[in-house]
Structure formats: C-alpha cells, structure tokens
Amino acid sequence: MRNKIVAGNWKMNMGFDEGVNLAKAVSERYTKAKNTELIIIPPYLHLSEVSRIAKAKGVKVGAQNCYHKENGAHTGEISAAQLASLKIDYCLVGHSERREHFKETNAELFGKVKMLLKEGIRPIFCCGEPLEDRKSELYFKTVGEQLKVLWELTPEEFDSVVIAYEPVWAIGTGETATAQQAQEMHEFIRALINEHYRKKRSESCSILYGGSCKPENAEELFSQKDVDGGLIGGASLNSDNFIAIYNSLK
Ligand code: PGA
C-alpha cells in the first residue's frame, strides 16, 4: 500500500523565529495516522532547527532545492550531501517556480535527482502544465515531457521518488484543479510509470496534487483514487490549515 503524504512548502516566507514557532505549532498538534506522512519544507535557513523540532515528533523535513553538482566552487548553492548531513528526508526538484524563474533544465533536474538518491534523500519531483497548455489541451503532452527525466532512473532508484502534479495555473492563484482534472492527470502519470517500470511500481508510487489546496477542498481531492495527498504552499503557513489538510488524509 502506498503512503499518503501532505507536504508544506513554505517557499521564501517566514523569518527565523516565525518559522520555528510554526514548526512547533505543527509538530505539537500532529498525530500520525497509519501509512501517512507529514512533511515540512522550510527555506534552507530554518532547516537545522525545524528538523530538530519536527523530527522529535515524527514529522519529516524536506528542502526546497539542491544543486546538481557534488561540491566545490558554487557560491550560494547547497548540495545534496550537505542536506544529508542534517538528515533531511525529502527535497523538491523542479518546482514550477524554479523551472520558470531559474530556467532549470531537464539535465539539471536529472543531476539533482541523482545527487539526492545517492545521499539517500527522497526527491519530490514536480510537474505541471502552464495555463496556455491547459487551454490548448496540451497538458498530457507537457507533463509527459517533464516526466521523461525520471525514466532514466533504474527501477530501484525510482522506488524512492515521489511525484507532485502541480498545474501552474492553480499555484497561488486560488484556482484549484477540480478533483476530476486532478484524478485524470494522476491516472495518466500512473499509467506512464506502469509503462516504464511495470505495475508494482506504478501502484506503490505516491503522487501528490498541488495548487491552491486548502482545508475546504483537500478531502475531495484526496478521495480520488490516484491522488495520494498534497503539496501545499500558502495554506501550509498556518498551522490550523496545514493540520486540517493533513487530517483530511485520514
Ligand atoms: P499553493 O502552492 O498551495 O500556494 O497554490 C503550491 C505549491 O507551489 O507547491
């Protein structure tokens, strides 16, 4: 049975003290349900302290990005090995904001995934189409292209990957994909995994939905057959909302 996951991506929000308080509020109210995980994904600045607080309560911790090279003269970047030295569990790869604003290429994304896997950190690989591709009905094609990065992995490597489908038009806009739109894409992604790695792996891979997910719509989205939880932006900055979203997995 695959894990159900709710992950909160704080993006570039929260001063240090504010972030520590949020991590405490979330961790204290977390009660784990079987086969589920709650993940906090703060900025790098908070990782060490948030990790200490969250892990004591069984909450997992992720980073928002890492560099695709091993180490050395890459000023301002953070490597997968450095994340591993803090025992970070997960790392986002290819969030649409990074694809768009930092022009991350498939070769770089592949490098990041490989570095993370080598260090025992599970990548949360993000995909999702922009509004033009939704309107012109190119969304399956776009997502299929983005996922090609993953088909280069060995089946054993693929076992550690979580996928997050985040339609760009739904991120931070208040406009959520309908449960049917999410289900249709998740089913498509699972079918692609089946094609590349066979049924066992397609059935065990967690596929999360992201894009204006909130307490009001989480339950309907998560009740879809192929939606295994959510990657939450805005609503993860409030502990009540974030815990309510996690509780809708149960
Ligand atoms: P949102 O962001 O929940 O604020 O739409 C989701 C994300 O970017 O991961």
What percent of the chain has pLDDT above 90?
A: 96
Look at residue 114 in the predicted model and tell me its pLDDT: 98
Look at residue 250 in the predicted model and tell me its pLDDT: 85
C-alpha 47, offset from chain centre? 16
Q: What is the CATH number of the domain that holds 124?
A: 3.20.20.70
Cα–Cα dist 112/91, whole Å? 9
Mapped onto helix, strand or coil, the DSSP state of residue 39 is: strand
Look at residue 175 in the predicted model and tell me its pLDDT: 85
Count of domains observed in the chain: 1
Question: Is 150 within 8 Å of 130 (Cβ atoms)?
Answer: no
Reading the chain (250 residues) residue by residue, the pLDDT tens digits are: 899 999 999 999 999 999 999 999 999 999 999 999 999 999 999 999 999 999 999 999 999 999 999 999 999 999 999 999 999 999 999 999 999 999 999 999 999 999 999 999 999 999 999 999 999 999 999 999 999 999 999 999 999 999 999 999 999 888 889 999 999 999 999 999 999 998 889 999 999 999 999 999 999 999 999 999 999 999 999 999 999 999 999 8
Kind plus residue range of the DSSP H or E element containing 210? strand 207-210
Pocket test for ligand 1, best of 213, 216, 241 (most atoms within 8 A of CB): 213
Question: Is 64 within 8 Å of 9 (Cβ atoms)?
Answer: yes
Which residues line ligand 1 at a C-beta cut-off of 6 Å?
A: 9, 166, 171-172, 210-213, 231-235
First to last CA, the chain: 14
Concatenating the DSSP letter of every residue in 110-173 gives HHHHHHHHHTTPEEEEEE---HHHHHTT-HHHHHHHHHGGGGGS-HHHHTT-EEEE--GGGTTS
Cα–Cα dist 68/190, whole Å? 26
Measured in Å, residue 230 CA sits from the centre of ligand 1 at 9
Task: Residue 178: give the domain boundaries.
Answer: 4-247
Burial 220-231 (b: 16+ CB within 10 A, else e): ebbebebbbbbb
Look at residue 63 in the predicted model and tell me its pLDDT: 98
- Name the pTM for this structure: 0.97
Measured in Å, residue 198 CA sits from the centre of ligand 1 at 30
Cα–Cα dist 73/69, whole Å? 10
